[in-house]
A and B are shown apart, each in its own frame.
Chain A
Amino acid sequence: MVLSILAGGESYGYEILNKVRLLSGGELEWSDGMLYPVLHRLERDGLIAGRWELTEAGRRRKYYRLTVRGKRRLATDRESWRAVYGALELSWGSSRV
């Protein structure tokens, strides 16, 4: 989910949480504090890269972007999810009959 959001461009923790909420129509509500360890693990794995910026309000903020490795992983994950989703759709369709 995080990789998919970052594929749309650079973002920071708070904004990512808002996007998750928005994209899921409020169905997915991540706890604020849970996101950062996930971001740090992805950064350590080289899937995303972070950089510190000074905001207009003079605050320090860490922005994350997708790395080449992250893009590759996202493409693989997307294929896997599509396969799972397709299989589930078929399964639910047949069980309805």
Chain B
Amino acid sequence: MAPSSCRGEAVVFELETGITSWRRRLEGRSSLSPRELDELEDHLRARVDLELELNPALAPHRALLVARERLGASTALAKEFTKAGRPRWRYLLLAGWAMYGASLLLPVAGPAALQTVYAEVPWSAPAHHWPQQALADGWILPLIPNLAMAMTLPALLCSWRSRARWLTWTIGAFGVSALGFGVANLLDRSAVAIAGEIAVYPYLGLGYWTWSGAHVLVAAALLLRSREWTSARSRTRRARNA
């Protein structure tokens, strides 16, 4: 291999390593989304190209240093992005979590019209009593969406970089199913015989509706977030393959 081509490859390698480490550092010190990082990276590369074009004798690492200085320190950059306002999904997530918090204090349902086979389930108790009851009775189903909800807390606190589509769909499915069940319960209030005993679902309370709505809101927020959290790198790669 010719020495000049070796030098060229070394220059490219040096630049790529420098840019990758700059991106990783910025990613670690800020809550910028992959798309925001993509855009800043494109800018950095354009600036490096210009510096090298204006001064061909300049070492690539020097050009990168100049470009990084012009772009600004990672903390200052993050601050500027924060000043420009938070993305819509964050407001939606906050609203979802506020509703979820409120639902834990509100009664899930009114008293049952008839004696139910689930008499031991504290229907009229606030929802935060449910996990204890669920664990005591082995009635695990309500725990699943609540655990899924708890997993979205890091996204609310900006410390989560995963897209976690499965979590979005799990929370969304629980939310929509719960709302569907609530509507069906409103429309059909006939007594149901379970295990030979007469049972009827009690009237669902504000806590139930708030809880279900919170899940739908959080799922919608995560869906919006995942669109932003998808790096343009993977999108352009897909477009190129197509």
Q: Please report A residues at the B interface, Cβ cutoff 8 Å.
A: 12-14, 31-34, 36-38, 40-41, 44, 52, 54, 59-62
- In chain B, positions 67-86 with a C-beta closer than 8 Å to chain A are 70-72, 76-77, 80-81, 83-85
> Are the CB atoms of A62 and B42 closer together than 8 Å?
yes
> Are the CB atoms of B85 and A60 closer together than 8 Å?
no
> Are the CB atoms of A38 and B43 closer together than 8 Å?
no
> Are the CB atoms of A41 and B236 closer together than 8 Å?
no
Of B32-40, B111-119, B146-154, B201-209, the stretch lying at the interface with chain A is B32-40
9 contacts between A and B (CB under 8 A): A14-B46, A33-B76, A34-B72, A36-B81, A37-B81, A41-B84, A44-B88, A60-B236, A62-B42
Compute how far the CA of A33 lies from the CA of B87 in the bound complex, rounded to whole angstroms: 18
Chain B hits for A37, CB < 8 A: 80-81, 83-84
Residue from A41, A44, A60 with most neighbouring chain B CB atoms (10 Å): A60
Compute how far the CA of A24 lies from the CA of B72 in the bound complex, rounded to whole angstroms: 22
Chain B hits for A12, CB < 8 A: 42
> Are the CB atoms of B42 and A61 closer together than 8 Å?
yes
> Are the CB atoms of A59 and B42 closer together than 8 Å?
yes
- In chain B, positions 201-242 with a C-beta closer than 8 Å to chain A are 232-233, 235-236, 239-240
> Are the CB atoms of A14 and B47 closer together than 8 Å?
yes
Given contact pairs A36-B39, A41-B84, A54-B240, enumerate 11 new A-B contacts (beta carbons under 8 Å): A13-B43, A32-B70, A36-B43, A36-B80, A38-B84, A40-B36, A44-B87, A52-B235, A60-B232, A62-B39, A62-B42
Interface size on B, residues (CB 8 A): 28
> Are the CB atoms of A60 and B47 closer together than 8 Å?
no
Compute how far the CA of A63 lies from the CA of B179 in the bound complex, rounded to whole angstroms: 41
Chain B hits for A34, CB < 8 A: 72, 80
Chain A hits for B83, CB < 8 A: 37
Compute how far the CA of A80 lies from the CA of B8 in the bound complex, rounded to whole angstroms: 53
> Are the CB atoms of A33 and B36 closer together than 8 Å?
no
Chain A hits for B61, CB < 8 A: none
Chain A hits for B71, CB < 8 A: 32-33
Chain A hits for B23, CB < 8 A: none
Compute how far the CA of A19 lies from the CA of B232 in the bound complex, rounded to whole angstroms: 25
Chain B hits for A31, CB < 8 A: 70, 72
> Are the CB atoms of B70 and A52 closer together than 8 Å?
no
Q: B161 interface residue, CB < 8 Å from A?
A: no
Measured CB to CB, the closest approach of chain A to B28, in angstroms, equals: 17
> Are the CB atoms of A14 and B43 closer together than 8 Å?
yes
Chain A hits for B163, CB < 8 A: none
> Are the CB atoms of B40 and A33 closer together than 8 Å?
yes
Compute how far the CA of A57 lies from the CA of B124 in the bound complex, rounded to whole angstroms: 64
> Are the CB atoms of A54 and B239 closer together than 8 Å?
yes
> Are the CB atoms of A62 and B47 closer together than 8 Å?
no
Measured CB to CB, the closest approach of chain A to B35, in angstroms, equals: 8
Chain B hits for A36, CB < 8 A: 36, 39-40, 43, 80-81
> Are the CB atoms of B236 and A44 closer together than 8 Å?
no
Measured CB to CB, the closest approach of chain A to B90, in angstroms, equals: 12
> Are the CB atoms of A32 and B81 closer together than 8 Å?
no
Chain A hits for B39, CB < 8 A: 13, 36, 62
